[in-house]
């Protein structure tokens, strides 16, 4: 049978364990609103018994290492969805601006200058000698050219802004990978001595979440608590204590920054995170719209110039180019301009007399001819409007879907790792009661000891 | 053991509030703009169709404007030709009067003078301008088309050309809007100016008067035949004006179907979103401020 002092020892141990448990509970309560915090669990374990005589006596309780409650698979799923969400956010940020350039519903876009230009020619055809109608054609042509140039330059500016965010995102990636690598060291260090690296794991999980918002990543556990992170296309970003920087370099062909990992251009392989969204907008979506504008501008200029040269101006001389003739479609929209400044040079006549409207009519009729990639200029433009709207609309639908998944996963994560104040309150009561009970045991042992001591007097 | 649920309802509540605020803002925008498509992405197909619709509508506006100009021009031409009819009719009577054998030379000369005045009047009408352009010069509208020229067989020289202009009066429909002056006034099948000149000479010389009268009659018939062209053009323009106006009306209706808002639906949506927002806000207040177990630890 054990001694009263042994009982006191058990009680002391229990009181210490309960005090520790209250501390852990209070830490959970303190972090109830901390983003990324995973609740910690109290691990109480029974001490090994001692054999006295033939009887085994328990020796009390020990407070073991705390365990952070987290589901790594869930965290990875959240990272994946975060990649998609950030990619869509960043893509939509750029494309919403593209969309607003062609927002015909709000009156911006090319429909109005295109219509006005062709209408000015229809008007000129009613009275080709009318100098104010001729002036009207020049002005409408200049307005159309200016609208095309403006759209083209706005798109290029947008591309430039998106390029800036590519560079900024790469810098952020590098900062994060450095921090993650150093946290890897701390996590694996603590794990190797059997301690719970909960706080560091929480920090690392948060940083990985931020990283997944910037670039598409795949995570693999290195086994010792450290995490290996690579882009989904395989460029290693973090390996144990080492981080590998991404770099940017201006591509002389595009004048925008390409992203390199260990000297290899990985730009086209980046598909997720805000970097993926920016690159998609900068290298695919915006250039697509720019190309269409160039095609529209180039074909308008070419067809219009050809028809102009087939006619005669108000002075009876052969018509000249109405627009400056670009060498090729590339960049046509950004350079389109009306080549003539004298309204009399508008080639409205088909027979050299000022009263002939044949060529004005032919010029006006270009709007009904398939002169732009097999379509009329207006149909081509309305397709462009559809495509831009559709790209944004599709991305928005995906964004909504990803948002819902993210919300569900966040709920699931909360269900696993979130701090419940009710739970913590119950625990607090349990540990408080246990502590009080142990204190009472001390009291009882004290009385027993007093009784024992008094027996000897 | 019960299933653990997410103890933090705040993100879900915020998401629900944001969703309803967005629905409110969308409904408000629809009501204030009167359009259900306010961004291309709201309905890309409708936005794209709307572009075509606007182009068509703008084109119709221009056609209507052109139509009104062309109608004035055609009306002015028709009125000019009507004056020619009056003048030539008078000349025909004078020719008949001149052919009367009882007329003295002096009286015949006086008739010749009168016919000569009518010829000048018709010449003036043939050189009529509309907004600075000669109406009967073909496409050479800056050149005076008719001048008296004794070297010509009919005594008149035509300086215009035989070209004509066509105008698009509606989408896909064009009409010819003029006849060359030579076809109207110096047509080989009936040359009005030549016949008038012939009558003057016949009256002055008192020779070949019946033939000159016959010529003028024939020329007058040909002239009235040619004149019909302008009457027809005017009718076509008027009918095109009517169809353009109805096309515009149809386009407006189509636009409304495409992108116009159904106010009742939008207002209902706004009401629903507002009610839902209020409900969530009050629920949020209740949920977040509800006492949890910790509050009972005293």
**DSSP secondary structure of A88-130:** HHHHHHHHHHHHHHT-GGGT-SSHHHHHHHHHHHHHHHH-TT-
pLDDT digits (tens, 9 = 90+) for A229-278: 999 999 999 999 999 999 999 999 999 999 999 999 999 999 999 999 99
ipTM confidence = 0.89
* Residues of B with Cβ-Cβ distance to A386 under 8 angstroms: 40, 44-45, 47-48
**What integer is the mean pLDDT of A302-328?**
95
Cα distance from B161 to chain A (closest Cα, Å)? 9
Helix (H, G, I), strand (E, B) or coil at A40: strand
Between CA B66 and CA B57 the distance in angstroms is 14
Closest-CA residue of A relative to B9 is: A411
Domain span including residue B162: 56-254
Give A281-348 as a DSSP string: IIIIIHHHHHHHHHHHHHHHHHHHHHHHHHSB-TTSSBP--SB---SSSTTHHHH--B----GGGS--
Q: Contact, B228 vs B184, CB < 8 A?
A: no
> CA–CA separation, B241 vs B243, rounded Å?
6
Confidence of residue B298 (pLDDT cuts 50, 70, 90): low
d(CA A431, CA A161): 57
Predicted confidence (pLDDT) at residue B9 exceeds the cutoff of 90:
no
Q: Give the pLDDT band of residue B5 (cuts 50, 70, 90).
A: confident
DSSP B143: S
C-alpha distance from B97 to closest chain A C-alpha (Å):
42
Query: Using CB atoms, which residue from A103, A128, A407 is nearest to B39?
Result: A103
**pLDDT (average), residues A27-51:** 93
Q: How far apart are CA B14 and CA B27, in angstroms?
A: 20
Question: What CA–CA distance (Å, rounded) separates A28 from A22?
Answer: 10
Nearest CB to B41; choose among A389, A407, A416: A389
Strand partners, A41: A67
What's the pLDDT at A455?
85
- Of the pLDDT bands very low, low, confident and very high (cuts 50, 70, 90), residue A296 is very high
With cut-offs at 50, 70 and 90, classify the pLDDT of residue B1: low
Q: What is the spatial distance between Cα A375 and Cα B107, in angstroms, rounded to a whole number?
A: 73
Q: Which two tokens stand for residue A446?
A: 């004290």
Quick count: other Cβ atoms within 10 Å of Cβ B257? 9
Residue A105 has pLDDT above 80, yes or no: no
Phi and psi at residue B228, to the nearest 5°: -55, -35
Residues of B in contact with A397 (CB under 8 A): none
What does the pLDDT read at residue A146?
96
**How many residues does this entry show for chain B?**
298
| CB within 8 Å: B52 and A382 | yes
Max Cα-Cα span within chain B: 142
For residues B135-161, one letter each, b for 16 or more C-beta atoms within 10 angstroms of the residue's C-beta and e for the rest, the string is bbbbbbbeeebbeeeeeeebbbebbbb
Instruction: Check residue B288 and give its pLDDT.
Output: 80
Identify whether the C-beta of residue A276 lies closer than 8 Å to the C-beta of residue A216: yes
Residue with token string 């169709």 = B49
**C-alpha to C-alpha distance for B114 and B94, rounded to whole angstroms:** 8
Could A353 and B8 be called an inter-chain contact, meaning their C-beta atoms sit closer than 8 Å? no
Indicate if the pLDDT at residue A2 is higher than 90: no
Whether the CB-CB separation of A8 and A442 falls below 8 Å is answered with yes
Residue B50 in tokens: 């709307």
A355:B38 CB<8 A = no
Which pLDDT band, with edges at 50, 70 and 90, does A456 fall under?
confident
Are residues B39 and A424, on separate chains, in Cβ contact within 8 Å? no
Whether A105 and B58 lie within 8 Å, measured CB to CB: no
Percentage of residues in chain A having pLDDT higher than 90: 89
Domain assignment of residue B280, yes or no: no
Is residue A1 over pLDDT 60? no
Instruction: List chain A residues with CB under 8 Å of B52.
Output: 378-379, 382
Of B67, B60, B96, the residue nearest B203 (C-alpha): B96
Residues A117 and A143: beta-carbon distance below 8 Å: yes
For residues A305 and A325, what is the distance between their CA atoms, to the nearest angstrom?
A: 7
How far is B212 from B154, CA to CA, in rounded Å? 12
Question: Does B1 contact chain A (CB < 8 Å)?
Answer: no
pLDDT band of B295, cuts 50, 70, 90: confident
In DSSP notation, A193-261 reads: TT---HHHHHHHHHHHHHHHTTS-EEEEE-SSS-EEEEETTS-EEEETTEE--EEEEE-TTTSSEEEEE
Measured in whole angstroms, the distance separating CA A451 from the mean position of its chain's CA atoms is: 74
Measured in degrees and rounded to the nearest 5, phi and psi for residue B78 equal -65, -40
Question: Is residue A250 left, alpha or beta, with left meaning phi > 0 and alpha meaning psi from -120 to 50?
Answer: beta
Cβ atoms of residues A296 and A377 within 8 Å: yes
Q: Which residue of A has its CA nearest to B56?
A: A115
Looking at the DSSP bridge assignments, the partners of residue A55 are A52
Q: Which two tokens stand for residue A208?
A: 């990985």
Residue pair B69/A127 in contact by the 8 Å Cβ criterion: yes
Q: Which residues of B190-229 are buried (b: 16+ CB within 10 A; e: fewer)?
A: bbbbbbbbbbbbbbbeeeebeebbebbbebbebbeebbeb
Distance (Å, whole) CA A217 – CA A209:
10
Q: What percent of chain B has pLDDT over 90?
A: 82
B263 within a domain of the structure (yes/no): no
Provide the sign of the torsion angle of the four alpha carbons A278, A282, A286, A292, taken in this order.
Answer: negative
State whether B139 and A104 contact (CB < 8 Å). no
Mean pLDDT of A348-354: 93
What is the C-alpha to C-alpha distance for residues B216 and A419, in angstroms, rounded to an integer?
112
User: A115–B55: do the CB atoms touch at under 8 Å?
Assistant: yes
Model confidence at A300: pLDDT above 80: yes
Residue B36: inside a domain, yes or no?
no
Amino acid A196: pLDDT: 85
Option in A355, A364, A403 nearest B142 (CB): A355
Cβ contact A351–B139 (<8 Å): yes
CA-derived radius of gyration, chain B? 39
Q: Which of residues 125-184 of B touch A (CB under 8 A)?
A: 131-134, 137-143, 161, 163, 165-168, 171-172, 174
pLDDT at B171: 87
Distance from the B147 Cα atom to the nearest Cα atom in chain A, whole angstroms? 19
- Chain B, residues 249-288, CB within 8 A of chain A, namely 259
User: Which CATH number does the domain housing residue B212 bear?
Assistant: 1.20.1330.10
**B49 falls within a domain:** no
Q: Which residues on chain B are in Cβ contact (under 8 Å) with A31?
A: none
Average pLDDT over residues B287-298: 72
Quick one: average pLDDT of A382-391? 96
- Across the interface, whether the CB atoms of A126 and B35 are under 8 A apart is answered no
Say whether A119 and B54 touch across the interface (CB within 8 A): no
Residue B12 maps to a domain: no
Interior angle at CA A445, CA A431 and CA A441, nearest 5: 15
Cα nearest neighbour of B70 on chain A? A126
Q: Show residues of chain B in contact with A382, CB under 8 Å.
A: 48-49, 51-52
B chain contacts of residue A136, beta-carbon cutoff 8 Å: none
Average pLDDT over residues B196-203: 94
Gap between the Cα atoms of A332 and A352, Å rounded: 31
Best of A95, A124, A127, A312 to mutate (most B CBs within 10 Å, chain B): A127
Sequence length of chain A is: 457
Residue B89 lies in a domain: yes
Rounded Cα distance between A101 and A155, Å, is 9
Tell the residue number behind the tokens 């991305």, with chain if given: A395
Q: Which residues in chain B (232-251) have CB-CB distances under 8 A to chain A?
A: none
* Domain count along chain B: 1
Take residue A194 and report the two structure tokens written for it: 């059997």
In this structure, is residue B79 part of a structural domain?
yes
Q: DSSP assignment of A170-185, as one string?
A: HHHHHHHHHHHHHHHH
Distance from CA of A220 to the nearest CA of B (A): 27
Q: What are the CA-CA distances from residue B168 to residues A213, A333, B177, B181, B242 (Å)?
A: 58, 29, 10, 22, 15
**Long-range Cβ contacts of B120-125 (<8 Å, 24+ apart):** B121/B83, B121/B87, B122/B84, B122/B87, B122/B88, B122/B185, B122/B192, B122/B193, B122/B196, B123/B148, B123/B156, B123/B193, B125/B80, B125/B81, B125/B83, B125/B84, B125/B87
Q: Which of residues 20-59 of B touch A (CB under 8 A)?
A: 35, 37-45, 47-52, 54-55, 58-59
Q: Does B14 touch chain A (CB under 8 A)?
A: no
Chain A residues touching B131 at Cβ < 8 A: 127, 130
Q: What is the pLDDT of residues B60-115, one digit of tens each?
A: 999 999 999 999 999 999 999 999 999 999 999 999 998 888 888 899 999 999 99
Q: How high is the pLDDT of residue B47? A: 92
CA angle A330, A332, A335 (to 5 degrees): 130
Q: What are phi and psi of A31, to 5 degrees?
A: -100, 20
CB contact under 8 A, B167 and A361: yes
Residue A335 in this model has a pLDDT that exceeds 60: yes
Phi, psi of B173 (to 5 degrees): -125, 120
Tell me how crowded residue A442 is: count the other CB atoms within 10 A of its CB: 15
pLDDT value, residue B250: 94
Q: Is residue B196 part of a domain?
A: yes
Average pLDDT (A347-357) is 94
Average pLDDT over residues B192-215: 93
CA nearest to A420 within chain B: B7
Q: A333 to chain B nearest CA, in Å?
A: 20
Q: Reply yes or no on whether the pLDDT at B292 is more than 80.
A: no
Q: How confident is the model at residue B286 (pLDDT cuts 50, 70, 90)?
A: confident
> Which of the 8 DSSP states describes residue A53?
T
pTM of the full predicted structure?
A: 0.88
Q: What is the pLDDT of residue B3?
A: 83
| B14 → chain A, closest CA residue | A407
Instruction: Mention every residue, 6+ apart, whose C-beta is less than 8 A from residue B202.
Output: B98, B208, B209, B211, B212
Q: Residue B172: what pLDDT?
A: 84
Residues of chain B with Cβ-Cβ distance to A355 below 8 Å are: 133-134, 137-142, 165
């Amino acid at each position: 049978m054990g001694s009263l002092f042994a009982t006191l020892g058990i009680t002391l141990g229990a009181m210490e364990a309960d005090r520790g448990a209250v501390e852990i509970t209070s830490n959970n309560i303190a972090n109830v609103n901390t983003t990324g915090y995973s609740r910690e669990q109290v691990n109480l374990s029974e001490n090994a018994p001692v054999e006295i005589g033939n009887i085994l006596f328990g020796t009390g309780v020990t407070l073991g290492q705390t365990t952070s409650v987290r589901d790594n698979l869930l965290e990875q799923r959240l990272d994946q969805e975060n990649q998609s969400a950030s990619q869509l956010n960043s893509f939509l940020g750029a494309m919403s601006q593209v969309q607003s350039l062609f927002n015909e519903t709000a009156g911006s876009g090319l429909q109005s200058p295109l219509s006005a230009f062709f209408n000015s020619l229809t008007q000129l055809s009613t009275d080709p000698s009318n100098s104010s109608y001729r002036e009207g054609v020049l002005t409408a042509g200049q307005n159309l050219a200016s609208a095309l140039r403006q759209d083209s330059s706005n798109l290029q500016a947008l591309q430039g802004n998106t390029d800036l965010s590519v560079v900024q995102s790469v810098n952020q990636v590098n900062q994060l990978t450095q921090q993650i690598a150093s946290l890897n060291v701390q996590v694996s260090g603590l794990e190797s001595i059997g301690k719970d690296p909960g706080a560091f794991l929480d920090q690392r999980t948060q940083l990985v979440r931020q990283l997944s918002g910037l670039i598409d990543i795949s995570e693999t556990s290195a086994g010792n608590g450290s995490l290996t992170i690579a882009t989904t296309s395989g460029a290693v970003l973090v390996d144990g204590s080492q981080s590998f920087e991404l770099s940017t370099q201006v591509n002389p062909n595009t004048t925008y920054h390409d992203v390199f990992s260990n000297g290899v251009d990985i730009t086209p392989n980046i598909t997720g995170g805000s970097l993926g969204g920016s690159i998609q907008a900068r290298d695919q979506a915006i250039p697509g719209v720019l190309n269409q504008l160039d095609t529209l501008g180039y074909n308008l200029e070419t067809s219009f110039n050809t028809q102009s040269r087939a006619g005669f101006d108000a002075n009876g001389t052969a018509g000249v180019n109405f627009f400056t003739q670009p060498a090729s479609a590339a960049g046509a929209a950004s350079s389109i301009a009306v080549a003539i400044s004298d309204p009399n040079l508008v080639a409205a006549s088909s027979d050299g007399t000022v009263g002939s409207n044949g060529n004005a009519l032919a010029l006006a009729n270009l709007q009904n001819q398939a002169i732009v990639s097999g379509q009329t200029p207006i149909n081509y433009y309305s397709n462009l409007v559809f495509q831009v709207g559709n790209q944004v609309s599709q991305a928005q639908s995906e964004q909504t879907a990803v948002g819902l998944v993210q919300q569900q996963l966040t709920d699931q994560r909360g269900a696993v790792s979130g701090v419940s104040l009710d739970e913590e309150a119950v625990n607090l009561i349990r540990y408080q009661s246990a502590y009080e009970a142990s204190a009472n045991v001390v009291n009882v042992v004290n009385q027993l000891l007093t009784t024992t001591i008094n027996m000897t007097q | 053991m019960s299933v653990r649920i997410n103890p933090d309802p705040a993100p879900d509540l915020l998401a629900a509030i944001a969703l309803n605020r967005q629905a409110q803002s969308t409904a408000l925008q629809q009501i204030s703009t009167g359009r259900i498509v306010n961004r291309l992405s709201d309905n890309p197909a409708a936005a794209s169709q709307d572009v075509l619709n606007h182009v068509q509508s703008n084109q119709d506006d221009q056609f209507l404007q052109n139509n009104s100009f062309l109608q004035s021009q055609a009306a002015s031409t028709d009125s000019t030709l009507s004056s020619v009819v009056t003048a030539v009719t008078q000349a025909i009577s004078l020719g008949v009067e001149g052919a009367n054998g009882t007329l003295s030379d002096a009286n015949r000369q006086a008739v010749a003078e009168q016919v000569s005045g009518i010829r000048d009047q018709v010449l003036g009408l043939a050189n009529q301008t509309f907004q600075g352009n000669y109406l009967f010069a073909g496409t050479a509208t800056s050149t005076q088309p008719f001048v008296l020229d004794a070297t010509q067989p009919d005594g008149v020289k035509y300086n215009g050309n035989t070209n004509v202009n066509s105008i698009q009066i509606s989408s896909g429909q064009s009409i010819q809007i003029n006849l060359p002056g030579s076809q109207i006034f110096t047509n080989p099948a009936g040359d009005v100016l030549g016949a008038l000149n012939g009558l003057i000479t016949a009256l002055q010389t008192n020779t070949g008067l019946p033939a000159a009268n016959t010529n003028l009659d024939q020329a007058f018939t040909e002239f009235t035949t040619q004149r019909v062209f302008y009457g027809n053009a005017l009718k076509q323009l008027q009918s095109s004006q009517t169809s353009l106006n109805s096309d515009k009306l149809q386009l407006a209706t189509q636009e409304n179907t495409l992108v116009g808002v159904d106010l009742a639906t939008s207002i209902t949506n706004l009401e629903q979103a507002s009610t839902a927002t209020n409900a969530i806000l009050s629920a949020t207040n209740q949920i977040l401020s509800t006492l949890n177990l910790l509050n009972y630890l005293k």
